[in-house]
Structure 1
Amino acid sequence: MESLREILKYPEELYYLVKLKMALRGAEKHIPSQPHWAFFNYICRYAYFIWFFESLTLSFWCTEDDTGIPTEVKVPMLIDFYRHLNDINWHYSCGTRNLDKIVVDEFHHVSTAFMELEKGHQETIVDFTKRMGAGMAKFICKEIATTDDYDEYCHYSAKLVEIGLFKLFNPSRKQDPIMEKLCGSTFIFYQKRDMIEDYLEDINEIPKPRIFWPRDIYSKYVDKIEDLKCEENSVKAVQCLNEMVTDALKHAGDCLNHLSTLNDDDALQFFGALAVKGMGTLVLCYNNIQVFKDKVRLRRGLAARLYEQTKTMSDIYNVFFEFASVMKSKVEMQDPNAMKTLSELNKVQEICRKSGLLNTRKFYIIKTEQGYNSYLVSLHANLIYLLNDGPLHLTIHNIRIFIHLSTK
């Protein structure tokens, strides 16, 4: 649950947190008894795909992120990772975070679950795993020097995951080339949000830093990426951060366009929740020096509230439009990328307008002493911090997705 301090500061969000807690208690009664399924902690339509993919991507990132694993060990491990999917004896002790360590060290649960899936699903997962592993191995030996490199890395580490999930959500649906291009945009958008938000954690990694920001961006402002966290480089650091956020925004339009093609409510809520949280976090990070001092994240109460209130494309368009408005208010014209940032935000808002699904809403920015780097509190015109006393309708599927989103 959220810290007492934040609950007292934002009491209107307590309802959403309590609602989630109640639903979780009910969900725990339905967790399967088999160890390999209980490991994923799910029981519902589609959830096993989501959590299976989550376990695989955690395993990849755990292996890649552990800077203590020698390159000569790490590269072949990533390339051959797909071969371990049906090997219940394979495991590896590595990783710097507890969840990552558990997934890789107890990989037999993943293998056991994999072997119970339908053959077609297994083939999709093997294909995704093989391509993702080879791509990530490539960047163990290759610096992310340009924005093209950055986009390519995100293709392997994020886009392939979404394409794989989309195929599992829609096994009989054939995509045209345009939809194939759009598919993956949500995960790339969210992945870039991760890389921006996690700057300090990555740069302080031991025994050596993880560097995902492309050199052709940060080198405009400092000689070494580590220098961005130095107090004397604060102005340049924020300008670099703003360029990184602007680069992420170029995926927002494709993200919205792809979400608008989803006909399955579960899929829309899953991918939509990622998109909304990604956009909200970018708003918080933009022009915010705290990114170089501490973890900047959406409050869980606000994330819960946004998640609860963004179940349709109309909701998603409205939240994106409001978030874009908030970020616009934070743009300072002396920033070297100000016009480009505003252009990307205008593109997002134009897509929302053209949808014809925007509603009349109000939004407010809470201003702090550090400037406009705080939180958006979006209000429906007819919902001003009123508690909803409707029925509890968070499904187990939605609960598990929310936990993933809010506790990353």
Structure 2
Amino acid sequence: MHAKKHIPSEPHWVFCYTMLHKISRSFSLLIQELHTDLRGPVCVYYLVLRALDTVEDDTSIATDVKIHILMDFYRHLHDTEWHFSCGTNDHKVLMDDFHHVSTAFLELGRSYQEAIEDITRRMGAGMAKFICNEVETIDDYNEYCYYVSGLVGSGLLNLFRTSGREYLAPDTLSNSMGLFLQKPHVITGYLEDINRIPESHMFWPRQIWSKYVNKLEDFKYEENSIKAVQCLNDMVTDALIHVEDCLKCMSLFQDPVIFRVCAIPQIMAIGTLALCYNNIQLFRGVVKMRDGLAAKVYDRTKTMSDVYGAFYDFSCTLKSKINDNDPNACKTKERLEAILKICQNSGSLNKWKSYIIV
């Protein structure tokens, strides 16, 4: 309610903030916490990239048409009459009325426009590349996650730098934060993506899943439950490799508001990985963090000490779920021990009040 009082009254801005809230309530709250000069640019940035993502996700669009739209999407930011009908529900509304987003974009300062346009161009080109190419190797997987999320982090840093509020975090670290956000999204999206109509659209790398089954869809079937969980644990273990860089990057932020905007999604990511690990339900339905726990994360994340405490909590939870018979048990433990050591060496845990995690 407080944030609503600061939304500009022009119809295009009302549309942007309304869509922001409908498409992602959690990010909506974080974005509306930002300083006034950053709130509009980040809102537009988020909506532009979600629109791009909507085009990529819609498997009913002919491949040649989709590639053309993805490659040229950044050009449409300057056209207040352009729209493209695709997606479903609120995402369809965003695409049908995209002219509101373009209008808001053109009201931003030129430096903000250039930063948003650059990331949109690079992301669209990267998405187009993987429309035609499967994710075969872990390198492919990291490259795809870089295009769809690592670039998001780089773009945000550019917006923060443009505002004059942040300078220190290098793009290499922000890329790790992007990959660490995207990989839980790819992992939890298994069932939705494999069942997508008219055809599946998957990003689990063959280099990982082919160790367990012949076809990726085999994980849906109960007789493959053990192999499915083993592969899931392999995917989670792969994601943990980015945590050290994420913690380094978050420790560099100076502005407390920007820090929260970046840190809360990272904690949600490690929490989601802890929830997914060794959890067969991921192949049966939706797996997501409880609203009450998510609210605790939102409420209690104010300083880097809170981040160390949360990562320690969720890493301990994940470690407690490791089965010694899992093929990747040793590697998972090794990566978690490294994370736990960083958190312990921070000196923050003696004052940390642990989350109640069940």
Q: TM-score normalised to the size of structure 2? A: 0.91
Inter-partner Cα distance in structure 2 for 1:363 and 1:84:
47
| 8 Å contact from structure 1 (residues 186, 274) kept in 2 | no
Deviation string for 1:311-337 (max 9, x for gaps)? 110001001011111111000010000
How far apart are the structure 1 equivalents of 2:229 and 2:67?
A: 34
* 2:10 maps to amino acid: Q
- What's the counterpart of residue 146 of structure 2? 155
Matched, 1:85 2:77: yes
1:239 to 217, 230, 237: 230
- Structure 2: state its 5+ residue gaps: 18-31
Equivalent residue for 1:112, pick from 103, 107, 111: 103
The 8 Å contact of residues 145 and 179 in structure 2, kept in 1 or not, is answered as yes
TM-score by length of 1: 0.80
CA change 1:364–1:331 in 2 (3 A) is farther
Letter in 1 for 2:122: R
Match of 1:52 among 44, 64, 86: 44
Query: Per-residue deviation at 1:167?
Result: 1.1
Cα distance between partner residues in 1 of 2:304 and 2:252: 10
| Cα displacement (A) at 1:354 | 2.4
Q: Distance in 1 between matches of 2:51 and 2:254?
A: 30
1:129 corresponds to 2:120: yes
| Aligned counterparts of 2:55 and 2:351: Cα–Cα separation in 1 | 47
**1:183 matched to 2:174:** yes
C-alpha distance in 1 between matches for 2:291 and 2:299 = 12
Contact 1:318 1:359 in 2 (8 A): no
**Map of 1:207 onto structure 2:** 198
CA–CA distance in structure 2, aligned partners of residues 155 and 268 of structure 1: 21
Higher relative contact order (Cα pairs below 8 Å, separated by 6+ residues): 1
Which of these residues, 321, 325, 329, is aligned with residue 312 of structure 2?
321
Q: Distance in 1 between matches of 2:111 and 2:232?
A: 42
2:245 maps to what in 1? 254
**Amino-acid identity (%):** 51
Are 1:64 and 2:40 counterparts? no
The answer to whether 1:336 aligns with 2:312 is: no
Q: Relative to 1, partners in 2 of residues 1:310 and 1:182: Cα closer, same or farther, differing over 3 Å? A: same
Q: In 1, distance between residues paired with 2:284 and 2:327? A: 22
Find 1:34's aligned residue among 10, 18, 21.
Answer: 10
* CA pair 364-306 structure 1, distance change in 2 beyond 3 A: closer
1:173 offset after TM fit, Å?
A: 8.0
More helix by share: 2
Number of the residue aligned with 1:227: 218
Alignment of 1:385-400 (within 5 A): none
Aligned residues: 341
Determine helix, strand or coil for the equivalent of 1:183.
helix
Counterparts in 2 of 1:55 and 1:364: CA distance versus 1, 3 Å? closer
Letter aligned with residue 45 of structure 2: F
Whether the aligned pair in 1 keeps the contact of 2:79 and 2:102 (CA below 8 Å) is: yes
Do the aligned partners of 2:313 and 2:354 also contact (CA within 8 Å) in 1? yes
Deviations for 1:148-196, whole angstroms, at most 9, x for unmatched residues? 00000011100111111111112258968x8221112222111111111
| Alpha-carbon distance between aligned partners in 1 of 2:330 and 2:98, rounded to the nearest angstrom | 48
How many angstroms does 1:359 deviate by?
2.6
Equivalent pair of 2:41/2:108 in contact (CA under 8 Å):
no
| Corresponding letter in the other structure for 1:38 | V
Q: Once the 2 structures are TM-superposed, how far is the Cα of residue 53 of structure 1 from its aligned partner?
A: 1.7
CA contact (8 A) 1:135 1:156 kept: yes
Q: Please name the residue that 2:130 is paired with.
A: 139
Q: CA RMSD in A?
A: 1.8
Cα distance in structure 1, aligned partners of 2:355 and 2:152: 35
- Contact kept in structure 1, 2:140 and 2:205, CA below 8 Å: yes
